[in-house]
Amino acid sequence: MSGAQAGSSITTLGQYLASKSLMAGSGQTPLDALLLDVATACKRVADLVRHGELAGVLGAAGSENVQGEDQKKLDIIANDVFIDSLERSGLLAGVASEEMDAHHPIPDEAPRGDLLLAMDPLDGSSNIDVNGSTGTIFSIMRRSGAGATRDEHFLQPGDSQVCAGYCLYSSATMLVLTTGDGVDGFTLDNSIGEFVLSHPKMQIPAATSEYSINAAYQRHWFNPVARYVEECVAGKEGPRQRDFNMRWAGSMVGDVHRILCRGGVFMYPMDRKLEAAGNSGKLRLLYEANPMAMLVEQAGGAASTGTERIMALTPNALHQRVPVLMGSTEEVQLLVEYHAQA
Ligand code: AHG
Ligand code: MN
Ligand code: MN
């Protein structure tokens, strides 16, 4: 049975990209072609996620990534699927990933393009064994200059991204992306194997009564975030004079997707425990914070570390971590105010 309603008109990802480029006066651009390859990789990962235990992809890999985090089998498989789908496209100059210490160079015998892709191949991977939502996050930049690609080519501020997106593997598989001209969401129609435009021009409402944070770390929080959450919890009787709701998916893709759909604020702040461990945050700037910040800003929201706009930061390393506060502008502004007052 078809996923689409009989006789209704659809726009596939390919048609959407082609019409955008035609309107801009060009034919298919390298970015269009790369996004179609990214979509293919997402479909391959979605198929594995959908089959779960039947595909033999659940469970731990028994290894650690460069950041000392336990890897799931699917972290590694998803990384391999993306590399395999992209490295010979002739569009890329290199791929950086959460699961690889240094960037992956394009094989010598393959043609090389001038785009760089940084990715979190499987975000929220601790959800995979419990059939919870996971995702892939990606950020695309241009590289300049001649010679071999180096890690340093990736160390560009988020404002240099030419495209950012994620694929959400949940009850439906969705690809959500921006090329700097708003945010559009596509749902995978498994019956025809195509991503179909389903959520055009996604917008985050400026006001919200929903926040998202791992409250198990409350005792480690610094004052600005502790104060913000305390005031939300106080509800109608507190200074905010309204009740709030809390949601935490355990996957940034799941949480940010909810915020793109109905508003809210997502927080993974700096805390005393991270500081004591010598970390500058939990989430990684290049392939988690920056692409999500671009999507959130393009949908009318805001993204800050508490003291700086995320996309204005110049990264100092591929796996640099940053505090993340993003979503509905009124709440992010309030958090920034509380940081300024502290
Ligand atoms: P990843 O699975 O790619 O390492 O990312 C997990 C991230 C993010 O998706 C999520 O919001 C957060 O880590 C959850 O962290 P806690 O387990 O500390 O709540
Ligand atoms: Mn992640
Ligand atoms: Mn990951």
pLDDT (tens digit per residue) in 36-47: 999 999 999 999
Nearest ligand 1 atom to alpha carbon 255: 11
Query: What residues pair up with 139 in beta bridges, in sequence order?
Result: 118, 164
Range of the domain at 59: 13-199
Q: Is residue 8 in a domain?
A: no
Q: What is the mean pLDDT of residues 28-57?
A: 97
- pLDDT tens digits for 220-259? 999 999 999 999 999 999 999 999 999 999 999 999 999 9
So what's the pLDDT on residue 145? 87
Q: Tell me if 3 is assigned to some domain.
A: no
> Ligand 1 center to residue 112 CA distance, Å?
33
Which protein residues are within 6 Å of ligand 1, measured from CB? Answer: 69, 98, 120, 123-125, 214, 250-252, 268, 282
User: Could you identify the atom of ligand 1 that is nearest to the CA of residue 98?
Assistant: 3
Assess whether 91 and 25 both reside in one domain: yes
User: With contact defined as beta carbons under 8 Å apart, do 96 and 318 qualify?
Assistant: yes
pTM over 0.85: yes
Minimum-distance ligand 1 atom for the alpha carbon of 268:
11
The enclosing domain of 74 has a CATH number of 3.30.540.10
- R_g of the chain computed on alpha carbons: 20
Q: Which of 199, 222, 243 is the last residue of a domain?
A: 199
pLDDT at 316 over 80: yes
User: How many CB atoms lie under 10 A from the CB of residue 315?
Assistant: 20
Shared domain for 336 and 193, answered yes or no, is no
Question: How many domains are contained in the chain?
Answer: 2
Mean pLDDT of 22-37: 95
The alpha carbon of 61 and the centre of ligand 3 are apart by a number of angstroms equal to: 13
Give 253-298 pLDDT, tens digit per residue. 999 999 999 999 999 999 999 999 999 999 999 999 999 999 999 9
Q: Which of 74, 75, 214 to mutate to test the pocket of ligand 1 (most atoms within 8 A of CB)?
A: 214
Question: Ligand 3 center to residue 149 CA distance, Å?
Answer: 23
Closest ligand 1 atom to 282 CA: 13
Positive or negative, the CA dihedral 114, 141, 73, 187 is negative
Cα gap 214→267, rounded to integer Å: 8
134-183: per-residue pLDDT in tens? 999 999 999 988 899 999 999 999 999 999 999 999 999 999 999 999 99
